[in-house]
Amino acid sequence: MKNGDVSEGVAQPLEWKFSQVFGERTAGEEVQEVDIISAIEFDRTGDHLATGDRGGRVVLFERTDTPDHGGNRKNLEMMDYSISRHPEFRYKTEFQSHEPEFDYLKSLEIEEKINKIRWCQSANSALYLLSTNDKTIKLWKVREKKVKKVCDLNVYPDKAAGNGSVVGSSTSTAPKPYIANGGYSERPFGCSGKDFSFPPGGVSSLHLPVVVTSQETSLVAGCRRIYAHAHDYHINSISNNSDGETFISADDLRINLWNLEISNQSFNIVDVKPANMEDLTEVITSAEFHPTHCNMLAYSSSKGSIRLVDMRQSALCDTHSKLFEEQEAPGSRSFFTEIIASISDIKFAKDGKHILSRDYMTLKLWDITMDSGPVATFPVHEYLRPKLCDLYENDSIFDKFECCLSGDGLRVATGSYSNLFRVFGCSEGSTDATTLEASKNPMRRQTQTPRPARPLGSLSGVVRRVKGADNTGVDANGNAHDFSMKLLHLAWHPSENSIACAASNSLYMYYA
């Protein structure tokens, strides 16, 4: 880690513990492609968590260890971050966000896979979130709806069936239950046990069902807006603005600005497409709004640079206000240099003073007031550097790992292979560096032993053969690494030391 004053505090090493797992597969169970998680996002309060998968579904979880069981907590910013908590979540609901489509004009199949999920500001106890696949963004509203049911069959005793119609009756009194022999009848007329025959003499009164609203509720997800036909290339990012009214969407060459209320119009604010596509040298890989300044955003490129943009300068933000990139060491360039330099994800720190970026080999932390280079660099899996040729052969070198920061800005985290993720302390003088394996569940291991136990941080895993992959390689510690098991997606709770990460189709929760 390079020197640099990242935060006023010093991140002391934390003891991370397993908390929960959702959707864990049993030993030998084959994972369906559509069930693999492709997006994770906490909402602003941390009381709700959303995941998206390759089958186009969005699954919501809510926190249960708070007094109001996942409601909005007051004075969230005043909570003591140092207190060790054990956040617990439960399954809330799920819905089908996207379906597979086919673009007949381009003869292109559009997958239903969820690329990104972003929470919007909630209102009237309803939850709002944006989800996107390669081409279409949707705004969803999830709310609780009271269940209505038929509770009883009531009777108008003064209106016999043969004495005129009861349709035009102007009786102002409320319907009364049918009274038989001084008591209340709980069965419809003519029903005694299994006998459903009509009583002798016909029907003496009209029985009407009464629909009442019960105390039970059900969750209903409704699509409120569809933002489509604005991107020629695959959407890789969406990000909400701090003004609560607009958001951006980014593909390989353009960034568009949307208003949440207007779905048929967007404004192109960044366009890096050259007049001749043969002159194309880099593409946009990720974009995000500043957390507090509604006029600022940042986007990364495949050349390893980050551009900070101020929308007040011009309508088309092709000229950046600041450029962040690390200078290449003389004589270090190779065939793989530009490939591994490509930034797969960027995140602003909560205070907006720093940007975290993830390229293939490292995490980098940038101070937005210093464009000379990163203030901290964290090697994620340096032992893979001698195997870059093998990683290129099996396409693993193009994997896009995400990154995240803690709410207090003292730590950063990202994923690796064999379902590992790494947590680093990023304050000056910190030596905190922890490796965790998301596929290990201590609670499960006590009840069954599908495979032998391994020390935490081991890369051995369950090695599954992948066509074209070299699974026989080992790291510096002699542990085999499995490129078929990769932890690409993870998210840090906004106010507590809790991390949610996806390993294949399973969602793992850890806390410290």
Q: Which residue has the higher pLDDT, 432 or 292?
A: 292
* Single pTM value for the model: 0.77
What does the DSSP 8-state code read for residue 392? H
Distance separating alpha carbons of residues 234 and 113, to the nearest angstrom: 11
Q: For 455-497, where are the E strands, in sequence order?
A: 489-492
Model pLDDT for residues 166-188, shown as the tens digit of each residue: 444 444 444 444 444 444 444 44
Report the distance separating Cα 154 and Cα 208, nearest Å: 5
Mean pLDDT of 211-215: 68
End-to-end CA distance of the chain: 23
Choose between 122 and 208: higher pLDDT: 122
Q: Is residue 110 predicted with pLDDT exceeding 70?
A: yes
Neighbours of 151 (CB within 10 A): 12
DSSP characters over 419-430: TEEEEEE-STT-
Asked whether the predicted pLDDT for residue 488 surpasses 60, the reply is yes
Least confident of 137-141, 150-154, 367-371: 150-154
Among 334-348, 377-391, 468-482, name the one with the lowest average pLDDT. 468-482
Comparing 285 with 217, the larger pLDDT belongs to: 285
CATH of domain 17-47+229-511: 2.130.10
Cα–Cα dist 141/260, whole Å: 12
Identify the burial level of 470 via C-beta atoms within 10 angstroms of its C-beta, where 0-12 means exposed, 13-18 middle and 19 or more buried.
Answer: middle
pLDDT(214) > 70: no
Q: Is 468 left (phi over 0), alpha (psi -120 to 50) or beta?
A: left
Least confident of 113-122, 376-385, 422-431, 451-460: 451-460
Residue 155 has pLDDT above 90, yes or no: no
Q: What is the pLDDT of residue 77?
A: 41
pLDDT above 70 (res 209): yes
Q: What is the token pair recorded at 390?
A: 């093998």
CA 264/CA 252 separation, integer angstroms:
21
Confidence of residue 340 (pLDDT cuts 50, 70, 90): very high
Q: Write out 156-217 in H/E/C secondary structure.
A: ECCCCCCCCCCCCCCCCCCCECCEECCEECCCCCCCECCECCCCCCCCCCEEEEEEEEEEEE
For 132, 162, 167, 270, 280, the CA distances from 392, given in Å and listed in that order, are 29, 86, 78, 31, 22
Give me 254's structure tokens.
């353009």
Question: What string of DSSP letters covers 126-157?
Answer: BEEEEEE-SS-EEEEEEEEEEEEEEEEEEEET
Does residue 106 surpass a pLDDT of 50? Answer: yes
pLDDT at position 66 is: 72
* Higher pLDDT pick, 310 / 428: 310
Region 222-226: mean pLDDT is 96
7-57 per-position pLDDT tens digit: 455 557 889 999 999 998 777 778 899 999 999 999 999 999 999 999 999
**Whole-number pLDDT of residue 179:** 46
| Mean pLDDT across 139-164 | 67
pLDDT score recorded for residue 334: 84
Distance CA 382, CA 397 (A): 13
pLDDT at 146: 80
Residue 471: is its pLDDT beyond 50? no
Beta-strand ranges (E) seen in 280-418 are 284-289, 296-301, 306-310, 322-324, 345-348, 354-358, 362-367, 376-379, 403-405, 411-415
Give residue 480's pLDDT: 62
Least reliable range by pLDDT among 243-252, 287-296, 349-358, 425-434: 425-434
- pLDDT of 75 strictly over 50: no
pLDDT score for 206: 60
pLDDT score of 463: 25
Confidence (pLDDT) at 172 = 43
Q: Which residues of 274-283 are buried (b: 16+ CB within 10 A; e: fewer)?
A: eeeeeeeebb
Strand partners, 216: none
pLDDT at 210 over 90: no
Specify the 3-state DSSP secondary structure of 450.
coil
Contact yes or no for 356/365 (Cβ under 8 A) = yes
Distance (Å, rounded) from C-alpha 47 to C-alpha 72?
Answer: 7
- Which of the pair, 344 or 155, is modelled with greater confidence? 344
Backbone angles phi, psi at 458, to 5 degrees: -70, 145
Domain boundaries, the chain: 17-47+229-511
Looking at the chain, the whole-number percentage of residues with pLDDT higher than 70 is 74
For the chain, the residue count is: 512
Contact 378, 389 (CB under 8 A): no
C-alpha angle 238/93/247, rounded to 5°? 15
Q: Give the tens place of pLDDT for each residue, 259-278.
A: 999 999 999 999 999 999 99
Q: Which is nearest to 403 in space by CA: 486, 467, 347, 472?
A: 347
> Which pLDDT tens digit goes with each residue over 374-431?
999 999 999 999 999 999 999 999 999 999 999 999 999 999 999 999 999 987 777 7
* Res 80: pLDDT: 46
The pLDDT of residue 372 is above 80 = yes
pLDDT at 205: 59
**Which of these ranges, 178-192, 216-230, 450-464, has the smallest mean pLDDT?**
450-464
Looking at the predicted structure, is the pLDDT value of residue 67 above 90?
no
**What is the average pLDDT across 249-253?**
97
Residue 467 has what pLDDT?
29
Average pLDDT, the chain: 80
- Pairwise pLDDT comparison (248 vs 460), residue with the higher score: 248
Q: How do beta strands 57-63 and 183-184 pair?
A: unpaired
Lowest mean pLDDT across 85-99, 148-162, 254-268, 336-350:
148-162
